[in-house]
């Protein structure tokens, strides 16, 4: 898992670095050397003769001034058309050339455009403009310079003097609009408002994707090796800073485009404009073809043929017209509801939330983080009274040392592998009560007495029994037979242990057969009356082994049941006190672990092991140290304290980071879910609300529409 996390982190880091470098390169390229629109990607190089012709053209036209009514204030021609290192490339394009002009006192009031890109055309070449023009251009410090037009090159221009040339003749098939008699007044040039800028700004999906990647990197840092954590956090922080700044920044003065405020009479020509072939009818302001937002088309007829103020971008896109039509007012009262970034952030935060729930345990980090924020203390206790007087809170560090009783687990499973079963020394009862006594049982004593009696008779020691003649005992041993010299004792001790009629059925049947008795009650009666005194029973070795196995099997069930009952009796500590437990299952005692589990023993050995463990663990020294993760009180008044090992500095920061990241993704997911629903609802009605607003403005007979109610 750690290897996968490292590989994923490295891949994400490389991808972010690559795309960040590309974005930086794109932003760092000056405007003068950016690739021009419509140009071929593979330019040819400028020849020395062409460079000489261009420089000669500059010398001939030093006196010209370049100014654009739709761009910036006048600037010297030499500064605008100076050669740069990027002028070595010549770009070729075939496209229509459009000519624009406004009322101005500048000597050269005509401006030429390839689509929305303004170019400088030598004055004498205007007569060569056709509908489709083969143009070659180079980049300069200002606007691109046309060095070739429809086969005419600046190499041929060297012998001409543009200052003495007369006005060029009008070419019928030229793709230019002649200046009209109706003049257009330029009122001023302003920057677009923040609302107008917001209408065309990016949707924020790219920045939202960066923030989602940053959240994913923060999640990976919770599972990654320690050495990679600072790098992952640094990259995630940089992405959050950059993406957040791009998402919420206000537009700078340089980022906002120029808006030209004009005054003139819009007219509908009924013709297609040169650069916009998708309009039903062309509307012009003087010689400027206007481009309107589609939803304005039903209302622009109100200003046709009237003196009107019109605000436009350089690309002729209308921003405001007349008294009511205004993109600024639309954005202020009916903002564009861009929900793409909310959808991306919602999906990204939901993904990180699911990964946290699946791969990271959250209960402990949340518990400890909350406690640490409230303030934690260090508590030490060497007796119960000190611990009882302390104000315990979750998140405090507890160090307790004393003597207590290991917790007794009554749910003993036969397949359990805990060496301390039934004792669980990861939990300790600590109180001032007297320790519980060792387990005792009369039934176990009776079972031990029966086992000892049978074993003593089946495996006697020679010359040790005064009731048997030594010579007879030697003869019996040589014959291979086994003598039961006190058969009545076996019967009576069996009855004492198995007084229930349903117990020890097989053992009772075997003893009945050996005594040749009618039934068990009659055999017991004979044994109690002394009728079996002096009766000796001879057994073959196989029969003796069978009898021994029957006795062992019968007593084993009593040992098991008595062990369980004794365990239940041990699980009755005195009321009050404390139950200190490790939530990680760590032992709180220093005793060496037994090699075998309690259930690895059978019969009497199991009972003996229980007594040995009880003598060791009912009152044993312990040492508990850790952070309190849980506090509770049971019905007996015993306070339960759960401890977790004290985390190191790295673990503490992981816990805090997990909690912060969890709350962060929950807040981001919830906020973007709400915004997504709201913006989808508003966006569904935005077009209708704008139409109703404009209808109420242009039709006074209709009831006035409240902007507040529409928004």
Q: What is the 3-state secondary structure (H, E, C) of 105-118?
A: CCCCCEEEEECCEE
Band (pLDDT 50/70/90 cuts) for residue 59 is confident
Exposure on the CB side of residue 674, measured as CA atoms within 13 A: 5
**Tokens 């203390």, residue?**
377
Largest Cα separation within the chain, whole Å, is: 161
Can you give the pTM of this predicted structure? 0.55
B/e letters for 161-185, b = 16+ CB within 10 Å, e = fewer, are: ebeeeeeeeeeeebbbbebbeeebe
CA angle 483, 489, 494 (to 5 degrees): 110
pLDDT reported for residue 705: 46
3 state SS of 442: helix
- Please, which residues bridge with residue 312 across strands? 260, 318
Mean pLDDT of 304-332: 85
Angle subtended by helix axes 541-570 and 604-617, to nearest 10: 30
Q: What are phi and psi of 630, to 5 degrees?
A: -155, 140
Which of 25-34, 291-300, 322-331, 575-584 has the least mean pLDDT? 25-34
Cis peptide before 422 (omega within 30 of 0): yes
Partnered with residue 135 across adjacent β-strands are 93, 149
Q: For the residues 520-530, what does the mean pLDDT come to?
A: 87
Taking a C-beta distance cutoff of 8 angstroms, is the pair 511, 539 a contact?
Answer: no
Confidence of residue 31 (pLDDT cuts 50, 70, 90): very low
Q: Are 342 and 672 in contact (CB under 8 A)?
A: yes
Percent of the chain with pLDDT over 70: 76
Residue 548 reports pLDDT greater than 70: yes
pLDDT attached to residue 158: 59
What does the pLDDT look like over 436-471, one tens digit per residue?
888 888 889 888 988 888 888 887 765 455 555 565
Residue 102 scores a pLDDT above 80: no
Residue 32: pLDDT over 60:
no
Distance CA 621, CA 389 (A): 21
Report the range of poorest mean pLDDT among 188-202, 269-283, 334-348, 579-593. Answer: 269-283
pLDDT over 90 (residue 475): no
Residues 622-656 have pLDDT tens digits of: 999 888 888 888 888 889 999 888 777 777 788 88
CB atoms under 10 Å from CB of 250, counted, come to 8
Q: Which tokens belong to 453?
A: 């009696």
557-570 mean pLDDT: 84
Kindly state the average pLDDT of the residues 561-573: 82
pLDDT value of residue 174: 39
Average pLDDT value for the chain: 76
Segment 113-118 mean pLDDT = 76
Q: What's the rounded mean pLDDT across residues 479-486?
A: 76
Which helix (DSSP H) or strand (DSSP E) does residue 266 occupy? strand 266-268
Confidence (pLDDT) at 666: 92
């Amino acid at each position: 898992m750690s290897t996968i996390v490292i590989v994923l982190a490295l891949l994400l880091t490389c991808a972010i670095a690559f795309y960040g470098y590309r974005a930086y390169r794109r932003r760092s390229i000056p405007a003068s050397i950016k690739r021009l629109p419509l140009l071929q990607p593979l330019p040819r190089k400028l020849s020395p003769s062409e460079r000489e012709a261009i420089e000669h053209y500059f010398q001939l036209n030093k006196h010209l001034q370049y100014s654009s009514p739709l761009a910036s204030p006048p600037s010297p021609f030499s500064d605008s058309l100076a050669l740069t290192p990027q002028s070595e490339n010549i770009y070729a394009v075939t496209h229509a050339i459009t000519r624009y002009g406004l009322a101005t006192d500048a000597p050269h009031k005509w401006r030429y455009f390839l689509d929305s890109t303004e170019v400088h055309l030598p004055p004498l070449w205007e007569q060569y403009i056709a509908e489709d023009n083969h143009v070659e251009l180079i980049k300069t410090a200002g606007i691109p310079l046309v060095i070739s037009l429809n086969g005419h090159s600046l190499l041929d221009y060297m012998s001409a003097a543009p200052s003495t040339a007369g006005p060029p003749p009008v070419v019928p098939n030229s793709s230019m609009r002649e200046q009209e008699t109706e003049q257009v007044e330029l009122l001023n040039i302003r920057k677009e408002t923040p609302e107008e800028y917001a209408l065309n700004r990016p949707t924020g999906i790219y920045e939202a994707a960066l923030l989602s990647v940053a959240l994913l990197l923060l999640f990976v840092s919770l599972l990654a090796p320690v050495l990679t954590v600072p790098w992952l956090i640094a990259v995630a922080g940089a992405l959050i800073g950059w993406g957040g700044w791009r998402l919420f920044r206000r537009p700078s003065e340089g980022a906002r485009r120029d808006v030209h405020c004009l005054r003139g009479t819009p007219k509908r020509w009924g013709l297609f404009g040169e650069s916009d072939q998708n309009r039903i009818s062309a509307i012009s302001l003087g010689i400027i073809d206007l481009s309107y937002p589609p939803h304005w088309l039903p209302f622009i007829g109100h200003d046709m043929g009237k003196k009107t103020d019109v605000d436009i971008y350089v690309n002729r896109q209308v921003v405001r017209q007349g008294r009511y039509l205004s993109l600024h007012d639309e954005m202020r009262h009916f903002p564009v509801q861009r929900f793409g970034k909310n959808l991306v952030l919602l999906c990204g935060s939901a993904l990180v939330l699911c990964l946290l729930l699946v791969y990271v345990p959250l209960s402990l980090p949340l518990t400890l983080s909350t406690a640490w924020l409230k303030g934690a203390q260090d508590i030490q206790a060497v007796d119960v009274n000190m611990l009882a007087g302390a104000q315990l809170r979750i998140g405090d560090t507890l160090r307790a040392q004393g003597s207590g009783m290991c917790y007794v687990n009554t749910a003993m499973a036969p397949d359990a592998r805990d060496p301390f079963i039934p004792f669980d020394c990861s939990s300790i009862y600590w109180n001032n009560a007297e320790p519980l006594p060792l387990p005792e049982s009369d039934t176990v004593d009776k079972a031990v007495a029966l086992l000892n009696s049978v074993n003593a008779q089946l495996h006697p020691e020679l010359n040790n029994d005064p009731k048997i003649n030594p010579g007879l005992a030697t003869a019996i041993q040589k014959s291979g037979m086994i003598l039961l010299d006190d058969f009545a004792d076996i019967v009576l001790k069996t009855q004492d242990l198995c007084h229930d009629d349903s117990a020890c059925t097989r053992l009772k049947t075997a003893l009945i057969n050996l005594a040749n008795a009618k039934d068990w009650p009659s055999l017991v009666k004979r044994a109690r009356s002394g009728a079996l005194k002096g009766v000796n029973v001879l057994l073959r070795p196989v029969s003796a082994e069978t009898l021994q196995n029957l006795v062992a099997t019968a007593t084993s069930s009593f040992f098991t049941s008595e062990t369980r009952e004794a365990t239940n009796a041990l699980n009755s500590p005195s009321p009050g006190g404390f139950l200190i437990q490790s939530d990680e299952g760590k032992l709180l005692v220093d005793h060496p672990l037994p090699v075998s589990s309690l259930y690895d023993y059978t019969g009497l050995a199991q009972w003996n092991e229980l007594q040995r463990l009880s003598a060791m663990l009912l009152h044993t020294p312990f040492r508990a140290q850790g952070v309190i993760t849980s506090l509770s009180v049971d019905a007996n008044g015993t306070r339960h304290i759960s401890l977790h090992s004290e985390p190191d500095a790295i673990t503490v920061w992981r816990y805090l980071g997990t909690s912060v990241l969890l709350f962060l993704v929950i807040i981001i997911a919830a906020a973007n879910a709400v915004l997504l629903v709201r913006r989808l609802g508003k966006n569904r009605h935005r077009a209708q609300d704008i139409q109703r607003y404009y209808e109420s403005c242009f039709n006074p007979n209709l009831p006035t529409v409240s902007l507040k109610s529409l928004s």
